[in-house]
Amino acid sequence: MAFEGLSEKLSGIFKALKNRGKLSESDIKDVMRQVRIALLEADVNFKVAKEFVAKIGEKCLGAEVLQSLTPAQQVIKIVNAELTELMGSTNTRINFASTPPTVIMMCGLQGCGKTTHCAKLGYLLKSQGKRPLLVACDIYRPAAIDQLVTIGKKADLPVFELGQTDPVKIAKEAVKHAKDHGNDVVILDTAGRLHIDETMMDELKNVKSTVKPNEILLVVDAMTGQDAVNVAESFNAALGIDGVIVTKMDSDTRGGAALTVKAVTGKPVKFIGVGEKIDQLETFHPDRMASRILGMGDVLTLIEKAEAQFDEAEAEKTLKKLKSKKFDFNDLRDQFSRMNKMGNLADIIGMIPGAGKIKEEDIDMKRFAKIDAMISSMTPAERSDPNLISPPRKRRIAAGSGTKVEDVNRLLKQMDQIRGMMKQFGKKGGKRYPGMGF
């Protein structure tokens, strides 16, 4: 995940602070120097990093920090607040039109993932009750129209296209089509170029003046680092963008673009792409991202991800099964499947406060594959009633799943522990975890 390197370095800096009783002015200056280096290594703009550290340093030199018995906590609190401010204070939502349709114009350089993220944005808005229409205005890139149609089908979204005709005409006709067919959001996939040029900007300006979009969103690739910020600055100067979508935030990119773009352009990051799947586009919350960077977790996003996968009625049904000790291997596999849909397990664990130090390599993903294989090797009756699994059946399950009898015994013991624990939990009137099946 992006910011992993920055998070590790900042955690190391603050860990060293915790061993000190009080901080002197020279201590703070040394810490600020280390923070500045960490930001520069994360590909944060030099000027932005310098100003950011200066603001933190000034606040850290106040009496509240210098005289505090827990100076490390005070410094982390200040850094957290300033990081949030740097990225935009609060998440900025799409400006929906009072009279539909809301027109969203997507732009960006070729290869940034613009077409894919048109569909991702449409899918996200559809999940929020909107009725988006995707519009193919990229008439230059080979197969761009076909790509949008294909990914539109995958997202179960309608696509409007008129072939390789005038993009301005396509956009104008698409808005008319949306009004006639009840689409309340129009997402224009405009043409990208390998570099910014006058012809490209003129075309975008003509589309803008014709359909008057409510939102102009620029898609940038996080892996291009500060080039992404330079692109954002150029597009904003020529077109007047309203926000940015940063893609590939699930990669090992250093993440400096997401930290810098608001400070340089004045325009917020509104969404981030966190994976290749159609549902892996998230609203960008500066406060939550700041907490994750500082290893403080992101419980709200974790709950939102859980609630998106765990239906309330199904959760209640699962809870009743757990309390009555009727929870079986069908239910366990269903829970694993839903958790898998929430995203990369290492990223999910990273959202839990205090668990940010757990790395992907520390998680035994093979163990989950083993469990699934063992459950698949059971008969329907065995999945429903684990008590049926006798020693001969254990040997058959182990042979069928490529595991050992010891693995099957361990799984059965864990199932028994889950059922027993949750039955006791139910007797005590425990409160269910939000959005989860237990």
**For 328-356, what is the mean pLDDT?**
65
User: Residue 216 has what pLDDT?
Assistant: 96
User: Residue 325 has what pLDDT?
Assistant: 60
* 10 contacts 294 by C-beta, under 8 angstroms: yes
- 65: domain CATH number? 1.20.120.140
Phi, psi of 135 (to 5 degrees): -125, 125
Question: Has residue 316 got a pLDDT over 70?
Answer: no
User: Residue 123 has what pLDDT?
Assistant: 95
Give a yes or no: residue 92 inside a domain: no
What residues have CB less than 8 Å from 257, skipping those under 6 apart? 43, 220, 222, 224, 225, 226, 228, 229, 246
DSSP letter at 295 equals T
Banded model confidence at residue 66, pLDDT cuts 50, 70, 90: low
| Boundary of a domain, candidates 270, 292, 314 | 292
Question: Has residue 430 got a pLDDT over 50?
Answer: no
- Same domain as 69, residue 169: no
**For 297-314, what is the mean pLDDT?**
55
Give a yes or no: residue 434 inside a domain: no
Helix (H, G, I), strand (E, B) or coil at 336: helix
Phi, psi of 171 (to 5 degrees): -65, -45
Domain ranges, residue 342: 302-427
- Same domain as 363, residue 227: no
Number of domains into which the chain is organized:
3
Comparing 213-227, 273-287, 327-341, 398-412, which segment has the lowest mean pLDDT? 327-341
Tokens (6 digits) for 291? 């907490």
- Same domain as 114, residue 214: yes
Comparing C-alpha atoms, which of 269, 300, 250, 280 is closest to residue 87? 269
CA 355 to CA 343: how far, in whole Å? Answer: 16
- 322: domain CATH number? 1.10.260.30
Give a yes or no: residue 438 inside a domain: no
- Same domain as 152, residue 287: yes
* 229 contacts 257 by C-beta, under 8 angstroms: yes
Helix (H, G, I), strand (E, B) or coil at 331: helix
Q: What is the pLDDT of residues 152-195, one digit of tens each?
A: 999 999 999 999 899 999 999 999 999 999 999 999 999 987 77
Give a yes or no: residue 93 inside a domain: no
Strand partners, 244: 218, 269
- Same domain as 107, residue 200: yes
